[in-house]
Amino acid sequence: MTSLFAFFTLSPTSIVLLLIVGVLLFGRKLPEMGKYLGKGIVEFKKGLRGFEDEVESSSAAAPRHDPMALEAPKPPQKVATTAPKFEDNAGAITTPPGVQQAPPAPKI
């Protein structure tokens, strides 16, 4: 466990080296970047605080309900329906009025 934290510790010389690199890279914009970083951290904390408030208020406001007893299943019911009746007269099929039949294809 200590080796994990040893990775994140910085010696004083490495901090000075990082500061020098930061000044060389960002120069005059370093204070401006610090300001934006500070604003971002403040907004992040506000968001977390608002999220925590929402979670606490929703858990406190939501009443706990005991699970309802399940109803016994109902027996199947008979439904009176009639099936359509089809006639077996395939030769008696006629074309409805107003519908034209396609001419027969020529024999080759």
Q: Considering only CA atoms, which of 96, 94, 16 is closest in space to residue 24?
A: 16
Q: Tens digits of per-residue pLDDT, 74-108?
A: 888 887 777 767 666 655 556 666 666 667 777 77
Q: Any residues with CB less than 8 A from the CB of 18 and at least 6 apart, and which?
A: 10
pTM over 0.75: no
Write out the DSSP string of 28-81.
GGHHHHHHHHHHHHHHHHHHHHHHHHHHHHHHHHS---PPPPPPPPPPP-----
Q: What angle, rounded to 10 degrees, do the helices at 30-61 and 12-26 form?
A: 110
- Residue ranges per domain, the chain? 28-62
Q: Tens digits of per-residue pLDDT, 30-56?
A: 788 889 999 999 999 998 888 888 878
